[in-house]
A and B are shown apart, each in its own frame.
Chain A
Amino acid sequence: MSALSIQAHQLSKTFGHFVAVKDLSLEVQPGEIFGFLGANGAGKTTAMRMLCGLLKPSFGHAMVAGFNIATQTEQVKKNIGYMSQKFSIYDDLTLKENIQLFSTIYGLKSAQTQERMKQLASQFGLENKLKSLVSTLPLGWKQKLAFSLAIIHQPRIVFLDEPTSGVDPITRRQFWEMISDTAKAGTTVFVSTHYMDEAEYCDRVSIMVDGQIQVLDTPQKIREQFSAPTMDDVFSLLARKKP
């Protein structure tokens, strides 16, 4: 068993003639916050779905939490959490009902569920809202709940697919604090975003353009390498470079 959280080697996915992801290779350490950057349509979601065991790779292989993503999907799914782009949770259920549903799906016993619910509620300030229907809550709360659901079973790795899209800057900052707390507690965070400024919150980032990773390093080193003041400038340089 590998000590690495994620280890991908030349992972590729094609749909017909279209190459969505090409030769993706990366390694992520336990407890690391890994930023997976790229424009919309660069192949981030496809890559992430492969790493979550939701999509079979066309070529290459990858180990997540020590399990093969192509052959041990069930083991992979047990050890990861996933938060999808639209904070998809059940609108017509209360926060509590959502939490109970997902903790049961992940096989938590009811005592464990109660304990986790208390813990997460106090950590994210959801205590007063547990009995409200999700549909009555503002987007920021939904985002917090979606994140709580993704880590309800204390997974080794949590995959966040553009968790901050459509949210105001203050909520975004609060959300990154939540991510950083979670990583400090030992969970690896693999987060995709198209906001380049968010790269600064990550330990290391990769920037994907047209299905391929162009750079992979710490934010600071990347900026130095391109001698650019911000990640946004780096991204502009990369985007301009392409034919």
Chain B
Amino acid sequence: MRLLDFILRRSFTALFVLVGVSLITFFLSRVIPSDAAALYIGPKARTEDIERVRKQLGLDKPLPVQYAVYMGELLHGDLGNSISTKRPVTQELAERLPATLELLFMGIFIAVLIGVPLGVLSARRQGSPLDVVVRTISIVGVSMPAFYLGLLMQIAFFRNLDVLPLAGRVDSDLRFVSPIQSITNFLLFDSLVTLNWVAFKDVFLHLILPAFTLAAYPIGLIARMTRAAMLEVLGQDYIRTARAYGIQQWVITYMYTLKNAISPTLTVIGLTVAYALTGTFFVEVIFNWPGLGLFTVRSLLNVDYPAIMGVTLFGAGGYVLINMIVDLMQAWIDPRIRLK
């Protein structure tokens, strides 16, 4: 029952934050710009068009009324039309989301797969050369700009070694050789379920460099936090007791310690997803990856205002959701959190 209480309370907070987020984007999009209507219609607008959009956006009405209209549109999933493509922003986002999510999942997956064991190992051997190496890797990881690492990867693995593709999601002639039947637009998944191995290999190879570039920062962060959390747990009395009972070291490390260190690690993985969300912007630009990030950067450069605000709302909404999921998972893993 307490878990249910917690879920309700946490959902309420998330709702409150979402309303706040909408307030901030409302201010950014309608109140701060000196002429929001001109921004919404783009640079080449005629005066009468601007006037029309001003009416349409309700900019001639008092602020609370404007906000109510804005919220109404948001709740209907209406983020306006993109200036550059003239299509609904919601539709533009939905089309590009799978590409970004595929990259994001792969990046986080790699980061967890490498970061957690690194953190565990270095905590087990605190102060050893291995610990120093892991600490160095993690600090290098968080200091490396994604837009620089991506270029280095391209030089190394495309130009010098010629083992991985330079950019893009698939090879340009794949659609002639072995086209992917589009189901979910998660290409790795689509090619797998249609048993299209040629395409699967191609998609996979294209995913490697961007995913590793995206993973660099999270690897560092996750390794560091896992190490800190492990050290904290390793210092507890019950671990000493377990040792005194002669329980094997790997059982202590993986079953007793890691289990209890997982909660702070989860928090960091949640944070990491948020970082990776903005990280994908740079990675997608470098690797010409047709996802949300590339769309956002193009919109920013074209001052495609409805598109930018749509992405901002969407990103913040996603972030709030991820944080909530992480909190719920923690409450589920660690009963102490529910009782607070």
Decide if A and B are genuine partners.
Answer: no
A residues adjacent to B (C-beta < 8 A): none
B residues adjacent to A (C-beta < 8 A): none
